[in-house]
C-alpha cells in the first residue's frame, strides 16, 4: 500500500483531501495528513512515505524549511 502525506495548516482542507484521495484510490493508498511540521515528522518516522504534498506557506516552519529538514535527516 502506498503512503501519501499531505502537510497543510488548514485542517478542513486536510479532511477533504483525505476523504477524496482515499475514495479516489479505492482504499489502495493510505492517505495521511499533518497540520504542522512536528506531526508530519512523526508520520515520516512511522511510515515509508511514497508521495509528500506540502503547503509552502505555513506558520512557524514553512514548506521549504520542512523540505530542507527532511533532506538533512533522510
Q: Which pLDDT value is given to residue 27?
A: 87
How is residue 19 annotated by DSSP? H
Helical spans, DSSP H, in the chain: 11-24, 37-46, 63-73
Distance CA 20, CA 48 (A): 21
State pTM to two decimals: 0.92
Residue 63 banded pLDDT, cuts 50, 70, 90: very high
Residue 4 banded pLDDT, cuts 50, 70, 90: very high
Convert the pLDDT of each residue in 9-60 to its tens digit.
Answer: 999 999 999 999 999 999 899 999 999 999 999 999 999 999 999 999 999 9
Size of the chain in residues = 74
Contacts with 54 (C-beta within 8 Å, 6 or more apart), sequence order? 7, 8, 40, 63, 66, 67
Amino acid at each position: 500500500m502506498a503512503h501519501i502525506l499531505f502537510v497543510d495548516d488548514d485542517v478542513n482542507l486536510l479532511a477533504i483531501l483525505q476523504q477524496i484521495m482515499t475514495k479516489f484510490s479505492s482504499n489502495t493508498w493510505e492517505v495521511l495528513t499533518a497540520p504542522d511540521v512536528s506531526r508530519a515528522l512523526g508520520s515520516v518516522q512511522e511510515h515509508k512515505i511514497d508521495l509528500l504534498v506540502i503547503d509552502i506557506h505555513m506558520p512557524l516552519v514553512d514548506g521549504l524549511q520542512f523540505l530542507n529538514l527532511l533532506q538533512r535527516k533522510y
